[in-house]
Structure 1
Amino acid sequence: MADHAQDLAIAEELAHQLARLITLTGRAKAQFATVATEGIERAAYALLAHLVREGPKRITALADAVHSDTSTVSRQTSALVAHGLVERKADPEDGRACLLVATDAGRGTFDRAKAERTRHIVALMADWPQSERRTLVMLLDRLNTDFENYHPVGEPR
């Protein structure tokens, strides 16, 4: 019983720290959104980032990858296409379908935003020992993977 109480207390503290982190990252994103993403809506920028990192995708696959609905992703990618950051190309496996592909301009926008974000993270963690930074990366990767794979019983996937 004591272990369960400790598990609950740790989970409550983790939830508090995650909420704090989400608030702080949201504030930082708002401060740097215009500079880093060149005026692109944050959610659309996340789609661009995914296409740059993971490669061309059909809109349904992109929506699944970012855990969003197809209609929202369609609207956001239309804005990216209008800005010349993403283009639609025929899917070589099925000519009736199209793939969303990051353009050179899109990759440049992503690279500039990534460099800016990385610069801020380096400054933020300058006093952290490298071993602690590596441990944090490892633990966040594990937590994110568990979040992606967690499906409470009775809830839709």
Structure 2
Amino acid sequence: MHASGPVDREGLTVPSQEHTGEEADLAGADRIGSELVRLIRLLERAFAQYQAEYPDAVERATYLLLVHLVNDGPRRSSALAEAVHSDPSTVSRQIGHLVRLGLVERRADPDDGRATLLAATDEGRRVFEENRRLRNQTIAAMIAHWSPSDRQQLGTLLARFTTDFENYRSRSTEAGPGDAAAADRS
């Protein structure tokens, strides 16, 4: 099926007034999907450039563990692996790296002395806060020319989309591998 109608700056068909029902839904989803792919590529390029400039920087997946420990507090490795949807052995290796850097420490679990909790150190919290500050300054500079209502609307819609994406993925996973694969086909 060849799409016709107005196109945006990326050459993608823009949903028009003549689309109805499912066609409009799919055209809108195509536009959103294309923009998400574009954003992900830009983010990956920015992360790769950052890694090239700072070869000792913590990998993005490893840094995510620190983010969870700062935001959610100390937790067991298994709970952390579940929170980031990763394999426990991968998380164990990544945590080892964060411990060597002094960003995370292992502590005895006060409820079960045989178990270990992982916790962000003061240095880990400092690194997290500094990265967050830099990220926020960059985003603020990028959208400084937007109206306050547009900035607010982006935050609101992005939070809504992220929550719906997370909930949809959870439901798809709970439905089973075959059902999830069918739900994720594009």
* TM above 0.5: yes
Decide whether aligned partners of structure 1 residues 34 and 97 sit closer, same or farther in structure 2, where only a CA change above 3 A counts.
Answer: farther
Q: How far apart are the structure 1 equivalents of 2:144 and 2:52? A: 25
Residue 30 of structure 1, CA deviation: 2.7
The separation in 2 between residues aligned to 1:46 and 1:70, in whole angstroms, is: 14
Give the corresponding residue for 2:162: 144
Match of 1:5 among 23, 38, 59: 23
Please give the root-mean-square deviation of Cα atoms over the aligned residues, in Å.
Answer: 2.1
CA offsets, 1:70-128, max 9 Å, x none? Answer: 11111111100011100011111222211110001111111111111111111101101
Amino acid at match of 1:66: V
Choose the corresponding residue for 1:68, options 75, 82, 86: 86
Correspondence 1:14-93 to 2 at 5 A? 14-33=32-51, 39-93=57-111
CA distance in structure 2 between the partners assigned to 1:103 and 1:109 by the alignment: 10
Q: How does 1:87-126 map to 2 (within 5 A)?
A: 87-126=105-144
Normalising by the residue count of structure 1, what TM-score does the alignment of the two structures yield?
Answer: 0.90
CA contact (8 A) 1:47 1:77 kept: yes
After superposing on structure 2, the runs of 4+ consecutive aligned residues of structure 1 that deviate more than 4 Å are: 33-38
**Which residue identity is paired with 2:85?**
H
Is 1:155 aligned with 2:180? yes
Question: 5+ unaligned residues in a row in structure 2: which ranges?
Answer: 1-18, 182-186
Offset, 1:64:
1.4
| Alpha-carbon distance, 1:155 to partner | 2.6
Residue-by-residue CA offset, 1:17-74 (whole Å, 9 max, x unaligned): 1001111122222333577896112211111111111111111111111121211111
Partners of 2:103 and 2:113 in 1: CA distance: 22
| Equivalences, count | 156
- CA distance in structure 1 between the partners assigned to 2:112 and 2:53 by the alignment: 38
Q: Aligned in 2, Cα 1:104/1:36: closer, same or farther, shift over 3 Å? A: farther
Secondary structure class of the residue paired with 1:15:
helix
Report the Cα distance in structure 1 between the residues aligned to 2:135 and 2:92, rounded to whole angstroms. Answer: 26
